[in-house]
Amino acid sequence: MVSQNVVVSDAKTGIITVSTVSNSSVFTPTAQKPPTAPGYISVSKKKLLKNLEINGADQSQRLNSWVDSMRASSPTHLKSLSSFSSEEEHNSWIKRHPSALNMFERIIEEARGKQIVMFLDYDGTLSPIVDDPDRAFMTSKMRRTVKKMAKCFPTSIVTGRCIDKVYSFVKLAELYYAGSHGMDIKGPTKGFSRYNKDKPSVLYQPAGDFLPMIDEVYKQLVEKTKSTPGAKVENNKFCLSVHFRCVDEKKWSELASKVRSVVKNYPTLKLSQGRKVFEIRPIIKWNKGKALEFLLESLGFENCNDVFPIYIGDDKTDEDAFKVYITNENCES
């Protein structure tokens, strides 16, 4: 697993946030009731085009801004001392990104007497970020570690990947899997049945109606990007990814225009950007944070004060999951 960092909030909330370098996940002692079945958000095509910055007189300027964002979308996990211009800069960076390992005893103390529930991202957390997403293999040592963890705590993989793909990497049947950014949830086929022994295996797909549209857009993106060397379109069942890690930087602007030219025709889909990847997802009231809440309820931990969820990830979608969970928790309290 990549180096982790921890930020401790005030004592009033009791919330601990954990992340890799610059992104946040969650340690929190209280689980709340998950939301009801997700509804759709009404979004006009005009508004969607504005959000995607694909229209208007300043299109060239906006495109340049988008490319700058693409360039910065895959920060390195580790910074060497030589990369800092001064000791003051180094100390400032350490203060903003403290090591979770240095605060391990504090984390253990916060979790004392509570049921720990683990939520793990996959890419960049359990496996390295690689040029070819089909080769993002986790090591045997990491697999053994996750297997041992699942024997001690309920453990879930929460990922943007489709479940079948991430399962082919992880190969552990005792885990919960929330694929497609939490829009495809399945429970384990073995282990930890004592937490939900009276309930059937978890199976929840809040974006099921979008499957035909996702398949249609996938085919269009494959056709549209085939002339861009290095571009790879991945069908994650309920969402799509367009990887540009292997695309020449000079072609990024062209690729961004191609992707947006397809997505703009589908006002119920949204386009966002991750670590050298474009993400296309349905606009529904559901994400990794909602999946976290749903899984906690499925495990029997709704409205429970003695549960300690731990969420570890490495990108903005994991940070958003933390924000959704904390926001809902504060609304319930």
- pTM score of the predicted model: 0.71
Percent of the chain topping pLDDT 70: 64
* 99-205+285-328 homologous superfamily: HAD superfamily/HAD-like (3.40.50.1000)
Delimit the domains of the chain by residue range: 99-205+285-328, 207-280
Q: So which residues are the catalytic ones?
A: 121
Q: What pLDDT is stored for residue 315 in this prediction?
A: 63
146 has a pLDDT exceeding 70: yes
78 has a pLDDT exceeding 90: no
Which of 43-47, 94-98, 225-229, 266-270 shows the lowest mean pLDDT across its residues? 43-47
| More confident of the two residues 51 and 140 | 140
Per the CB < 8 A criterion, the answer to whether 127 and 138 are in contact is yes
Q: What pLDDT is stored for residue 10 in this prediction?
A: 34
In terms of C-beta density within 10 A (0-12 exposed, 13-18 middle, 19 or more buried), how is residue 197 classed?
exposed
Q: What pLDDT is stored for residue 80 in this prediction?
A: 52
150 has a pLDDT exceeding 50: yes
Report DSSP letters for 59-104, one per residue: HHHHHHHHHHHHHTSS--S---GGGSSSHHHHHHHHHHS-BTGGGH
Q: How far is 317 from 171, CA to CA, in rounded Å? A: 23
Which of 21-30, 104-113, 136-145, 243-252 shows the lowest mean pLDDT across its residues? 21-30
State whether residue 32 is helix, strand or coil: coil
Which of 130-134, 201-205, 227-231, 238-242 shows the lowest mean pLDDT across its residues? 201-205
pLDDT tens digit string along 80-106? 555 667 788 878 877 776 677 777 888
Amino acid (1-letter code) at residue 175: L
Identify the architecture of domain 207-280 in CATH: 2-Layer Sandwich (3.30)
Q: How far is 177 from 154, CA to CA, in rounded Å? A: 11
pLDDT tens digit string along 4-50? 443 333 333 333 344 433 333 333 333 333 333 333 333 444 443 44
Give the residue-averaged pLDDT of 234-241.
96
Q: What pLDDT is stored for residue 108 in this prediction?
A: 87
